[in-house]
Structure 1
Amino acid sequence: MSDLLTVAMPKGRIFEEAVELLRKAGYDLPDEFENSRKLIIDVPEEKMRFILAKPMDVPTYVEHGVADIGVAGKDVMIEEERDVYEVLDLKISACYLAVAGLPGYAKKDINPKVASKYPNLATQYFKEQGEQVEIIKLNGSIELAPLIGLADRIVDIVSTGQTLKENGLVELETIVPITSRIIVNPVSYRLKDERIEEMVERLSVVVEEELR
């Protein structure tokens, strides 16, 4: 069995923050690592391979075993419900999921529409609230939906709230806090347990130090 460790990472802010943690944990990653346009980056010195993917695809790669380890936001984990182990909260890219809408929004009695790129999560949330809604799945620019009359409310990630404010929306309800997690393929966890546990332990020390 190859001792190459394959790690799936989402592009963007999470990738940059996760790379910083890995460096602090003692992993020797090239200086140009973050600027590479490659989708697969080999780091032979560490016997590691990195796959750069869309955030929603990371759990899929890990579940199917093409990646041993992944870094995924808790929002993606809740939405995708993949068969993977969640082993460490990295405490990076902190934000939260919220319901938002136009100021003065009043709940409708009949079939209100909610736009989100998290249809499963949104459906479950409103079911728990005892509210029956129609979910409209969008892949981007969720804030547009109330502005053009497509939906009454949205469910989306909120970081600073600036995007909502700039588009004339207000936060109506907070759903759940979100951070990025280390996830592991169950088979890899058995076959490459020593390498995976070493990485988790090294990153755990860094995460604890960052919180002090």
Structure 2
Amino acid sequence: MGQNVARGIVPAVALTVLVLVGCSTAPERGTADRAEPAGETRGSAKAGAGSGSAAEGAVIGGAGTPCALPVSFSTAADWTAEKVTAGDDPAFASLVRQGGVDLVCEIDAKPAGNVGYLRVWTGKGKGTPREVLEGFMADEKKAASVRYRATEAGELAAAEVTYLITGEFESEPKKERALAVSTPGGAVVLHLGGLDTQEHEAMLPAYDLAKRTMAVTD
């Protein structure tokens, strides 16, 4: 495998294996559209919303950026983007494909002091944002309290999902979220995980910045 696999996919797989492997709770399908997972308190929601706006760093997605994507967006200051390439290894290829989209870019929060990634997945599918996101979540076997809602990413129509992951390495459920858009260049899923809920909420301003500045690339 190439250098990008060693530096990009292996950390992602390690984080996934060590943190996300978990319980056998099945996702809740067909739930009413809501913005936050069930069980979130008003206090924790306020904490996430009150964490402030992220200072802008680089814009990625266009030609000449670390990740050429169907969309572009601003990353938070000090976050570093790197292209993910599976190469010819079928084992790694299976780990970076989920619900019809492939992991193509990771934006690492560690240089900014957090533990987690914004991950960008792309595919050739032409479904609605909700259909793309439901396909992505169909392979998220450890998700519970799944809640969808319609939203916007920049000027693009989008679907967003919030959910909980509980695994053998977590003392309590942790939040994750993703959004999907459909573009002329294909489907895009932007996912935010994190080591735990505290890290997830600390990274929300970076996710919101990417969501707010998203645009279709030329």
Q: Considering the TM-score relative to the shorter chain, is it more than 0.5?
A: no
Q: Which has the larger radius of gyration?
A: 1
**Higher strand fraction (1 or 2):** 2
**Higher helix fraction (1 or 2):** 1
The alignment's TM-score, normalised by the length of structure 1, stands at: 0.30
